[in-house]
Structure formats: structure tokens, C-alpha cells
Amino acid sequence: MINLLKSNYLLSALTLFLLSPATQASTWFALEAVESINGITVEVDLESLRSLGEKRELMTRITFSQPQKEQDISYQSVIAELEISCNSESDFWRSIRFFLGSSAEGKQLSSANFGASGLPRSVLMILPEKIWVTLQRSACGRAATAAH
């Protein structure tokens, strides 16, 4: 009986571990059009794309060719959860994690969760406007953005 309980516990623990977000593999898709802009590579996790009416939520992995500085940390890549608006330019950062290495490898340096209201893209100026436009077009499946 004890062996049965142990095996069920181990199976349950393993299942929870495999289902946790940290262990799930992401399907990263590189946005080729933005690679040449300032040495920035932007990838979107295709499995994270969610449609909420005229808004889209998605995870992105952003890698810079050179280390960047934000407040008191120096980083080379980030993983960010974004909210993109298809009918306006009201785009928001939902959360962001800063990494020392490229492609979000290595030590995580810092993270921030901006909650349900998010942080307007104009406050955290990590990405050039052209990249936001490309993200909006890609997430909303349009040839042009609402404002362009």
C-alpha cells in the first residue's frame, strides 16, 4: 500500500513539473523583417498568441546585438509578455524578464510584472517604433496597422 502511494505521489509530482510553464517548450518564430533594425532580433512564441477581441496577447523574446542598460542592470535579451491592440496604438508591456545572455539564456537578472493594466509601450522604450508596427501587423494578421 505504501509503495502504491509513493508511486502515485511521484507520478503526480512529475506530471505537475512537466505541465509547469517553466518546463514547457516554446515555439519561437523569428520576425525576419525586424532583424536588420539596430541589431535587434525579435521572436514570438506562437503557442502563446491569444485573441481577446481587438487585442492580442503574446510572448516575445528580444535579443540585442550589444548589451543594453535599463536603470541599474546591463542585459542582452528579454522575454516579455505583450498586449497588442489591433485598432489603436494602445500597446502594453504585461511583464518582462531581463537576461544576461542572448536568446534569454544564462542568468535572469531581473523581472517585473505590470499587472492587468500593463505598462504603456511609451514608458519602457526598449523597442523602436518600427518593431512595434511589425508586431502589431503580425499579431493582428494585417498588411497595415490601424494608424498607418
Q: Which domain holds residue 130?
A: 26-140
Percent of the chain with pLDDT over 70: 74
Residues 30-40 pLDDT 10s: 876 555 567 88
Total structural domains within the chain: 1
Residues 24-70 pLDDT 10s: 457 898 876 555 567 888 999 989 999 989 999 999 999 998 999 88
- Phi, psi dihedrals of residue 80, rounded to the nearest 5°: -130, 145
Distance (Å, rounded) from C-alpha 121 to C-alpha 124?
Answer: 6
Question: What is the residue-wise DSSP string for 39-91?
Answer: TEEEEEEGGG-EEETTEEEEEEEEEEEEEEEETTEEEEEEEEEEEEESSSS--
Residues 84-111 pLDDT 10s: 999 887 899 999 999 999 899 888 999 9
Cβ atoms within 10 Å, residue 16: 10
Q: What is the DSSP letter of 107?
A: -
The confidence score (pLDDT) of residue 5 equals 42
In a domain, 80, yes or no: yes
Q: SS3 for 111?
A: strand
Tell me: pLDDT of 10 over 50: no
Tell me: pLDDT of 127 over 50: yes
In a domain, 147, yes or no: no
Rounded to the nearest integer, the mean pLDDT of the chain is 79
In a domain, 16, yes or no: no
Q: Tell me, what CATH number does 118's domain have?
A: 2.40.128.710
In a domain, 54, yes or no: yes
In a domain, 74, yes or no: yes
In a domain, 46, yes or no: yes
Q: What is the mean pLDDT of residues 101-122?
A: 91
The confidence score (pLDDT) of residue 27 equals 86
In a domain, 32, yes or no: yes
The pTM is what? 0.73
